[in-house]
Homo-oligomer: A and B are copies of this chain.
């Protein structure tokens, strides 16, 4: 296959290939196979179709690109470099996978401008892509006018066999088909190789037929290695079908061009080795040194800069016209993009006194969501088929459905994992949307990878989780969270809030909305069952993570630390202990992370070192509580799986009663 003379297009494609080959070789680590095989489709897509502005990677109306097969990230870095992004220079490429580089081992949106979302954990990228396409459809429906279009872009995804085996991808593509997101175009790099070898060992399903079953428009490029015209034709056809997402199966050869390693798992995730690199150079007729890209190639690929500048200028003009005609809508659109909250938005959040009737915190959540919905039209989301249990419906809106993309109630179906990744996609659309996703707290286990990625990739998603303890009741141990709060608190950069009552629910939403705008996710845990409104709770208290709601003169004999539905037990126990002459403080601690963010003086003021008798009360695992109660303290907790019985019975039987809190407190007091 020695190539004597190469067309400019071939040179461009080989440039991508050799940037990947040589960067991986230098790092002695990485995945050359995908970039080598997918370079043709990526080149055609970026050169002939994608609308973006390298000099303003955040230009709103750009087409979004996601490399769902994130291990092939050198493909994306090569494209960013060649098309003139400032974020990836040739020096950055030489630093591939090194400490502090802009070219980490998988694409990370928070490290590298031009990368839209963080991929690597397989299947997430395509599901994020559904979220981006949802965001586009929603904003287009909301803002575009019959005579003025300001939201109009495609979302392109390259995914591989690995992504297509993951359940999260199946979930996301099923719902994308249901929604008919016509501007979502996925290119499936069908190379028949995964890490264990040929996909014959584990993946012989008919992927195209499956996507047809999902309601997608499905195409096939039989020779994705060299038939650039066929790739272009397929993308054209995909764009022309506007009522369905399109999946283009592009059959390629992994590691294309490597005479001994192409079409083997050996080229997937390891450097080729010097000998094979030399053979590949020879085979592909590539006479350039590592990291030396022909000027013709740079000259051609850099045309993206002028093109991008024109695209943006055109759009700016269109937006100016829109603004002239529709000033109110334009102002709102600009507020969305500025990511700013409207003045006084938080004034709508209700407050309560102990005289107000106790209701479940999930109902407080419903009230907060519905108070916020009118003033924050950017709030959009829903539940994984538990809308009327999670109480997450926005009552002033209809359902987000095909033909009704302007609506804000999203039915994700029983697809928790895809819900998570789709919300992350919406958040990372960069248009100010505040997505929320809801299910039972226990089912965060199904979507944990997406929750983690919300924290890692700075996606300001809000996770609304109800039925937050054994108080869930009759559904039993499969549905009752025990270790769940601990497992979520352990995730870096995720704020977990478990409010005790109405005031704290308002405080929780205040924090969550603000954090969303700061690109940080929040997980809210709400009860199924009634809780009383307590004296001393406050919106401001929640913001500090922990605060005293019952206190004594001088140094307390004991501090009772409660969260959520168990704070009221602490208050009742404290009253009893006080009546018996003990000095008692009750600390409501809705959020560990918010408390840890306070200064040392505040922390000492709430939990003074001098007080070693501390009792935590939370209807969940004691795991982690030693940090606050120490060797001198104790926990009222449940460290086994729950049981099926009415919620009140479960609480009582497992020791979440005033009597048991009292007994444990007295044991500590000695």
Residues of chain A having any CB pair with chain B under 8 Å: 27, 29-30, 70-71, 97-101, 104-106, 108, 118-122, 161-163, 165-171, 174-175, 177-178, 194-196, 201-210, 212-215, 383, 385-389, 399, 401, 411-415, 417-418, 442-443, 445-446, 448-449, 452-453, 455-456, 473-479, 482-483, 486-487, 489-493, 609, 621, 623-624, 626-627, 630-631, 639-641, 643-646, 649-650, 653
CA distance A481 to B30 in the complex (A): 19
Task: Report the nearest B residue to A628, measured CB to CB.
Answer: B626
25 contacts between A and B (CB under 8 A): A71-B475, A97-B476, A97-B645, A99-B646, A101-B644, A105-B644, A108-B478, A167-B170, A167-B417, A178-B205, A195-B387, A196-B386, A196-B387, A196-B388, A201-B399, A201-B401, A205-B214, A206-B215, A209-B212, A445-B449, A445-B452, A446-B448, A483-B491, A623-B624, A624-B626
Task: Report the nearest B residue to A208, measured CB to CB.
Answer: B213
Q: Do A490 and B486 have beta carbons less than 8 Å apart?
A: yes
- Kindly identify which residue among B100, B477, B630 contacts A631, using a CB–CB cutoff of 8 Å: B630
Q: Do B399 and A121 have beta carbons less than 8 Å apart?
A: no
CA distance A88 to B256 in the complex (A): 62
Q: Do B27 and A474 have beta carbons less than 8 Å apart?
A: yes
| Closest Cβ–Cβ distance, residue A455 to chain B (whole Å) | 8
Q: Do A177 and B196 have beta carbons less than 8 Å apart?
A: no
Contacts of A120 in B (CB 8 A): 475-476, 478-479
| Closest Cβ–Cβ distance, residue A407 to chain B (whole Å) | 12
| Closest Cβ–Cβ distance, residue A189 to chain B (whole Å) | 14
Task: Report the nearest B residue to A475, measured CB to CB.
Answer: B105
Q: Do A213 and B205 have beta carbons less than 8 Å apart?
A: yes
CA distance A561 to B489 in the complex (A): 23
Q: Closest 10 interchain pairs by CB?
A: A167-B167, A104-B644, A202-B413, A483-B490, A120-B478, A99-B645, A209-B213, A487-B487, A626-B627, A210-B213
Contacts of A213 in B (CB 8 A): 205-210, 212-213
Most buried by B among A414, A417, A452, A643: A414
- Kindly identify which residue among B195, B413, B483 contacts A165, using a CB–CB cutoff of 8 Å: B413
Given contacts A476-B105, A623-B489, contact A99 B482 (CB under 8 A): no
Q: Do B201 and A210 have beta carbons less than 8 Å apart?
A: no
Contacts of A202 in B (CB 8 A): 175, 178, 385, 411-413, 415
CA distance A163 to B170 in the complex (A): 13
- Kindly identify which residue among B204, B411, B644 contacts A106, using a CB–CB cutoff of 8 Å: B644
| Closest Cβ–Cβ distance, residue A227 to chain B (whole Å) | 25
Further pairs besides A106-B476, A166-B414, A482-B492: 14, Cβ < 8 Å = A97-B476, A99-B650, A118-B478, A121-B446, A121-B478, A166-B167, A170-B170, A195-B388, A202-B415, A487-B487, A492-B621, A623-B624, A624-B626, A626-B627
Q: Do B609 and A631 have beta carbons less than 8 Å apart?
A: yes
Task: Report the nearest B residue to A489, measured CB to CB.
Answer: B623
Contacts of A161 in B (CB 8 A): 414
Contacts of A445 in B (CB 8 A): 121, 448-449, 452
- Kindly identify which residue among B106, B411, B477, B644 contacts A479, using a CB–CB cutoff of 8 Å: B106
Contacts of A399 in B (CB 8 A): 201
Q: Do A174 and B195 have beta carbons less than 8 Å apart?
A: no
CA distance A399 to B197 in the complex (A): 12
Given contacts A104-B644, A643-B99, contact A389 B195 (CB under 8 A): yes
CA distance A155 to B110 in the complex (A): 48
Contacts of A214 in B (CB 8 A): 205, 210
Contacts of A479 in B (CB 8 A): 105-106, 120-121
CA distance A163 to B414 in the complex (A): 8
CA distance A162 to B174 in the complex (A): 13
- Kindly identify which residue among B30, B385, B646 contacts A29, using a CB–CB cutoff of 8 Å: B646
Q: Do B493 and A478 have beta carbons less than 8 Å apart?
A: no
CA distance A430 to B178 in the complex (A): 41
Q: Do A626 and B623 have beta carbons less than 8 Å apart?
A: no
Task: Report the nearest B residue to A30, measured CB to CB.
Answer: B474
Task: Report the nearest B residue to A399, measured CB to CB.
Answer: B201
Given contacts A399-B201, A418-B167, A492-B640, contact A106 B478 (CB under 8 A): yes
